[in-house]
Chain A
């Protein structure tokens, strides 16, 4: 009984104590399943996780792990007749006759969701009380960098867009948050001024090149100013592509101002003010050196990249594009095949242009002893960008040849890659076509006679689906800064400076004969960018800002004569991706040619479409949904 009494007393005491707790404390339970804004913005490591998400959602036109519009990474590099997509499900890329007005856009909602989240991040960061001033400032600068980058991606596609720099709350009257489009020049000005404003708060020698740095901000400014300058200058040639309110098009009088800004930004990086950057040059074979620049993450040339990591985020670019015959994954290979249109553009070592010699003056085939002899004496970036026939990847030689040519000129081949057949007049079956193609319509092998080499990862197992590749995608690199400087110098009337900058990039690529001021033309500038920055996501936006896209992709069929001519001419048309097919000669009666190699330019049978770029394609369509929701948005011109 006594015991019972004491238990009751203790219980009553405990209950009484509990009852003393304030009701509000009792009911206010801290959630254990998520962190509140205040909690996150009190610890720099937690802020970094928010920032990491924003970094991860940056928009790239071309990207090794793909983007929201085109899906798989390799496909974001295809198109524009610079390559052929060797995957049946992607044949549409070479079968369409032009692009829809809505092509290349970033979904409006996705875009402004991102902008809003960055704005919220900035507001919360500046309101944080428990972060050190140093951290707050750095995070703030990184957030502004990401926002400026995103606006740059938007202005490249849409021209002027509503410039929203703070988070909006839903008011009673929706019209108060319906903002009209800013001028195209306003958005470029915003990107430029943001870069100037934040560069002092960012590190000149960052620990990670996948985070914003001083040089990344200045490189962004440099590119943005160059874009704005060229739109101002060349926009005058296509007056139909403009809007009276300036939402599309930049006033021609601003060209020099923008070019000057671009040049100054480039000079700042070149002078080393923004950190130690230099062209990647480890000696050795210039082709290998050029290819390694994209593989070596310690490269001093990289300014800002999207990094990948085993155990974190990896991508399938190597899986999708490795040569078929030694693919790590049977049946996953060979999708991105560079076109002959691009390959023909690589100069000879004496800085002149010439088509690859397949026939002599009287149209008779030329015979080569080795399969890759035809590519001898070319710009080293050719072999660094493109995996040529008879060249190696992962220590194995690619087996690219389309069949035998018999003495009468007829072709003896097979529809089955690597198939063995009996040649006429013999009794033993021999291989009659390469295991890596090319065979018309046979996907996952090359159909142009080339594979891609840029970004192709030689690491063991990088071609496996499960493992993936960790090669980084470089968004800004030093060579582009030099090319920007060259273009800005040229446009500002200093071809001598332009030649100096170009020569730096060209010497690294093995072109040791320097260009002189008299060699520098608009075509030269365009050509150098097309070659140096091939498959880096530049060609569409470059051709757009120079207003030559409607000439290059004019919708007319591309003939063999077109492929062989107009080399190094900026506006030469290129609407269908051609290939160069190697053939082995079988002519036992003539030892001079028997066993040698000959080449035929071939338009892949699937390439039935022709690229047609309309005035209405210069700026992506703002969707009817977006315009319906905000009638203040002006429609794009010619749409």
Chain B
């Protein structure tokens, strides 16, 4: 077989391949952007990153399984999806809030018909809200004050286990991600309307940094997810 023959075959294959490529592909990539926040009335709910999950279901395509994801630290979520009808739930026992339930105790669904990008805020009822959070640093000590407001007061009410102040060098601040924290048990708090906390800010080296991120968190008895105050960046 000489070179020109090989070339001919090659050319033929190329033509075939490009002709095949003209065929319509399966689907184009999903392009509709579904995003939103966890909210209570008009306030967003702050949680720990990667810990509070939600599930999106789409029916009508045979076996059903959820698209699982988690909320960001500021309670936001986003998914890129195909247009279609979706149902969103938050599994039972997740989050520092109550999610509507059906009569059988299953999590109720939020129905979303997606046609292009859309914002859907998920309305939940938190057990507590942290109000008027104020965190400042002076003399190497971080001090915080806040009011812990009880939202759910009926038979479903839960007690506060502790209030904590967390500091971290990055913007991820929680019980898992911190360089300094202080826990104050609920029993040691005289007035939930006026909680104050303070913790020493450790020296930050390698590299040095003259700011920290801080949040106040409330741990509720019997729930693993905490609710937080909005993140603040404090320079000193």
Question: Which A residues are closer than 8 A to B by beta carbons?
Answer: 97, 238-240, 244, 550, 554-557, 610, 612, 614-616, 624-625, 627-629, 631, 635, 637-639
Whole-angstrom distance from the CB of A355 to the nearest CB of chain B?
Answer: 23
Determine if B93 and A638 form an interchain contact, defined as CB atoms under 8 angstroms apart: yes
Determine if A637 and B93 form an interchain contact, defined as CB atoms under 8 angstroms apart: yes
Q: Is B224 at the interface (CB under 8 A from chain A)?
A: yes
Q: Which residue of B lies closest to A97 (CB)?
A: B176
Given that A628-B64, A629-B63 are known contacts, is A556 also in contact with B176, CB under 8 Å in the complex?
Answer: yes
Determine if B91 and A556 form an interchain contact, defined as CB atoms under 8 angstroms apart: no
Determine if A240 and B64 form an interchain contact, defined as CB atoms under 8 angstroms apart: no
Whole-angstrom distance from the CB of A573 to the nearest CB of chain B?
Answer: 11
Q: List 29 A-B contacts (CB under 8 A).
A: A97-B176, A238-B222, A240-B222, A240-B224, A244-B105, A550-B224, A554-B175, A555-B175, A556-B181, A557-B178, A610-B176, A614-B224, A615-B93, A615-B224, A616-B93, A624-B65, A624-B66, A627-B65, A628-B64, A629-B63, A631-B64, A635-B91, A637-B93, A638-B92, A638-B93, A638-B94, A638-B224, A639-B53, A639-B91
Whole-angstrom distance from the CB of B53 to the nearest CB of chain A?
Answer: 8
**A610: B residues at CB distance < 8 A:** 176
Determine if B93 and A628 form an interchain contact, defined as CB atoms under 8 angstroms apart: no
**A615 CA to B224 CA in the complex, in Å?**
7
**A638: B residues at CB distance < 8 A:** 91-94, 224
Could you give, for residues 86-102 of chain B, a 1 whenever the CB lies within 8 Å of some chain A CB and a 0 otherwise? Answer: 00000111100000000
Q: Is B204 at the interface (CB under 8 A from chain A)?
A: no
- In the A-B complex, the 5 residue pairs with the smallest Cβ-Cβ separation, listed nearest first, are A628-B63, A624-B65, A638-B93, A555-B176, A240-B93
Q: Which residue of A lies closest to B223 (CB)?
A: A240
Given that A244-B105, A615-B93, A615-B224 are known contacts, is A628 also in contact with B175, CB under 8 Å in the complex?
Answer: no
**B105: A residues at CB distance < 8 A:** 244
Q: Which residue of B lies closest to A238 (CB)?
A: B222
**A631 CA to B59 CA in the complex, in Å?**
13
**A84 CA to B45 CA in the complex, in Å?**
38
Could you give, for residues 167-185 of chain B, a 1 whenever the CB lies within 8 Å of some chain A CB and a 0 otherwise? Answer: 0000000011010010000
Question: Which B residues are closer than 8 A to A by beta carbons?
Answer: 51, 53, 63-66, 91-94, 105, 175-176, 178, 181, 222-224
**B63: A residues at CB distance < 8 A:** 625, 628-629
**A625: B residues at CB distance < 8 A:** 63, 65
**A550 CA to B66 CA in the complex, in Å?**
26
Determine if A239 and B222 form an interchain contact, defined as CB atoms under 8 angstroms apart: yes
**A624: B residues at CB distance < 8 A:** 65-66
Determine if B92 and A637 form an interchain contact, defined as CB atoms under 8 angstroms apart: yes
Whole-angstrom distance from the CB of A554 to the nearest CB of chain B?
Answer: 8
**A408 CA to B51 CA in the complex, in Å?**
46
**B92: A residues at CB distance < 8 A:** 637-638
Please classify the interface of chain A as helix (H, G, I), strand (E, B), loop, or mixed, using the class held by over half of its residues: loop
Whole-angstrom distance from the CB of A603 to the nearest CB of chain B?
Answer: 15
**A624 CA to B57 CA in the complex, in Å?**
12
**A238 CA to B181 CA in the complex, in Å?**
25
Whole-angstrom distance from the CB of B154 to the nearest CB of chain A?
Answer: 18
Whole-angstrom distance from the CB of B100 to the nearest CB of chain A?
Answer: 17
**A14 CA to B191 CA in the complex, in Å?**
110
Whole-angstrom distance from the CB of B64 to the nearest CB of chain A?
Answer: 6
Whole-angstrom distance from the CB of A571 to the nearest CB of chain B?
Answer: 14
Q: Which residue of B lies closest to A237 (CB)?
A: B222
**A554 CA to B51 CA in the complex, in Å?**
13
**A567 CA to B41 CA in the complex, in Å?**
47
**A631: B residues at CB distance < 8 A:** 64
Whole-angstrom distance from the CB of B22 to the nearest CB of chain A?
Answer: 36
**B51: A residues at CB distance < 8 A:** 614
Q: Which residue of A lies closest to B224 (CB)?
A: A615
**A147 CA to B117 CA in the complex, in Å?**
52
**A631 CA to B65 CA in the complex, in Å?**
10
**A629: B residues at CB distance < 8 A:** 63
Whole-angstrom distance from the CB of A244 to the nearest CB of chain B?
Answer: 6
**A550 CA to B225 CA in the complex, in Å?**
12
Q: Which residue of A lies closest to B50 (CB)?
A: A97
Determine if A612 and B176 form an interchain contact, defined as CB atoms under 8 angstroms apart: yes
**A555 CA to B174 CA in the complex, in Å?**
10
**B93: A residues at CB distance < 8 A:** 240, 615-616, 637-638
**A34 CA to B65 CA in the complex, in Å?**
41
Whole-angstrom distance from the CB of A607 to the nearest CB of chain B?
Answer: 15
Whole-angstrom distance from the CB of B178 to the nearest CB of chain A?
Answer: 8
**A627 CA to B66 CA in the complex, in Å?**
11
**A612: B residues at CB distance < 8 A:** 176
Q: Which residue of A lies closest to B65 (CB)?
A: A624
Whole-angstrom distance from the CB of A252 to the nearest CB of chain B?
Answer: 16
Q: Which residue of A lies closest to B176 (CB)?
A: A555
Whole-angstrom distance from the CB of B225 to the nearest CB of chain A?
Answer: 9
**A556: B residues at CB distance < 8 A:** 175-176, 181
Q: Which residue of B lies closest to A245 (CB)?
A: B105
Q: Which residue of A lies closest to B104 (CB)?
A: A244
**B64: A residues at CB distance < 8 A:** 628, 631
**A240: B residues at CB distance < 8 A:** 93, 222-224
**B223: A residues at CB distance < 8 A:** 240
Whole-angstrom distance from the CB of A557 to the nearest CB of chain B?
Answer: 8
**A277 CA to B94 CA in the complex, in Å?**
48
Q: Which residue of B lies closest to A241 (CB)?
A: B93
**B176: A residues at CB distance < 8 A:** 97, 555-556, 610, 612
User: Among B66, B92, B105, B224, which residue has the most Cβ atoms of chain A within 10 A?
Assistant: B224
**A629 CA to B65 CA in the complex, in Å?**
10
Whole-angstrom distance from the CB of A91 to the nearest CB of chain B?
Answer: 19
Q: Which residue of B lies closest to A555 (CB)?
A: B176
Contacts A238-B222, A610-B176 known; 20 new A-B pairs at CB < 8 A: A97-B176, A239-B222, A244-B105, A554-B175, A555-B175, A556-B181, A557-B178, A612-B176, A614-B51, A614-B224, A615-B93, A625-B63, A627-B65, A631-B64, A635-B91, A638-B91, A638-B92, A638-B94, A638-B224, A639-B91
Whole-angstrom distance from the CB of A627 to the nearest CB of chain B?
Answer: 7
Q: Which residue of B lies closest to A612 (CB)?
A: B176
User: Among B53, B92, B176, B178, which residue has the most Cβ atoms of chain A within 10 A?
Assistant: B176
User: Among A238, A555, A627, which residue has the most Cβ atoms of chain B within 10 A?
Assistant: A555
**A614: B residues at CB distance < 8 A:** 51, 224
Whole-angstrom distance from the CB of A559 to the nearest CB of chain B?
Answer: 11
Whole-angstrom distance from the CB of A549 to the nearest CB of chain B?
Answer: 12
**A555 CA to B175 CA in the complex, in Å?**
7
**A244: B residues at CB distance < 8 A:** 105
Whole-angstrom distance from the CB of A504 to the nearest CB of chain B?
Answer: 39
Whole-angstrom distance from the CB of A88 to the nearest CB of chain B?
Answer: 24
**A112 CA to B222 CA in the complex, in Å?**
35
**A627: B residues at CB distance < 8 A:** 65
**A639 CA to B55 CA in the complex, in Å?**
10
**A555 CA to B178 CA in the complex, in Å?**
11
**A554: B residues at CB distance < 8 A:** 175
Whole-angstrom distance from the CB of A618 to the nearest CB of chain B?
Answer: 11
